[in-house]
Amino acid sequence: FRGQGMRKSVEAVLHLARPKLVGRKLDQRSIDAFLIEEDQLPANVVLAVSMACSRAIAASEDVPLHETLAELAGVSDPCIPVPVVGMINGSSLAASPCPAREVAVAPLSSATPGDAIDAAYEFEHVLRSKLEQAGFHGVNVGKMGGLAPPMEAVDDALRYMVLAKQESGIEVINFGIDAGAELLADTQDPLSLEGEGGVGGDGGGGEAGSPGGGEAGAGEGGEAAALGQDGGELEPSEQATLYD
């Protein structure tokens, strides 16, 4: 599967983790500490084995899994976490120069998980509309289902996310970035936060606000300026929101 399969992870569970776990007391914290200390175990194996232990503990005590996790976290009134939904894909997840693997949203003001999914769905449609208005027509979709416009900097993605947030009417929605740090370890400038020519990058020859428009939102020295709702620079309070 070109390195995307799970066979090596299964082998690691069977031959590295299992021999050292069989016969141990079912204690989540001690097992997690052991898994973290085992340098040979890949991260997806650590997570999978830890989750399996949580399920085993819940089953042995005949309680729902969420109660076991709540007790471990010291939470007396557990609730379903706010879903985090990927909106823009880049890096290894899309044919896009954007260095971040994923830029996501978390609709914090939603009262229920269903409302949060509705909010994320609405946000995606507004975001797509904003991208199309700026000239990103026929935007591709990345491997994780996010939009994959040809953007060169994370700031470019975040600016359009801010515009979509302002128009969507969602009261509180936070942004998150999956930097794909393991893919960036050998680069000198791993996560560019400034495009060379505003929102569209320094393509030259395009209209302001278009993907090729080097003048769109450009400040002095060619540095990108954050765009507000009307195409001007964001107010300081809005710029703070951009990095929430």
Residue 79 lies in a domain: no
User: Is the domain of 204 the same as that of 97?
Assistant: yes
Q: Is 70 exceeded by the pLDDT of residue 238? A: no
Q: Point out the domain boundary residue: 30, 52, 73.
A: 73
- Domain count of the chain? 2
Residue 34 lies in a domain: yes
Mean pLDDT of 103-125: 91
Q: Point out the domain boundary residue: 19, 53, 73.
A: 73
CA-angle at 159, arms to 157 and 164, nearest 5° = 95
Helix (H, G, I), strand (E, B) or coil at 33: helix
Pick 222 or 49 by higher pLDDT.
49
**Alpha carbon 141 to chain centroid, angstroms:** 15
> What is the residue range of 136's domain?
85-242
* Stated length of the chain: 244
Q: Point out the domain boundary residue: 28, 43, 73.
A: 73
pLDDT the model gives residue 224: 31
Mean pLDDT of 162-173: 89
Residue 206: which pLDDT band, with cuts at 50, 70 and 90?
very low
CA-angle at 9, arms to 178 and 88, nearest 5° = 20
User: Is the domain of 121 the same as that of 191?
Assistant: yes
User: Is the domain of 151 the same as that of 35?
Assistant: no
User: Is the domain of 36 the same as that of 124?
Assistant: no
Q: Is the pTM of this model over 0.85?
A: no
Residues 152/155/161/166 CA torsion (nearest 10 deg): -140
d(CA 149, CA 157): 9
Lowest-confidence region among 94-98, 108-112, 227-231: 227-231
Q: Are 227 and 242 in contact (CB under 8 A)?
A: no
Residue 210: which pLDDT band, with cuts at 50, 70 and 90?
very low
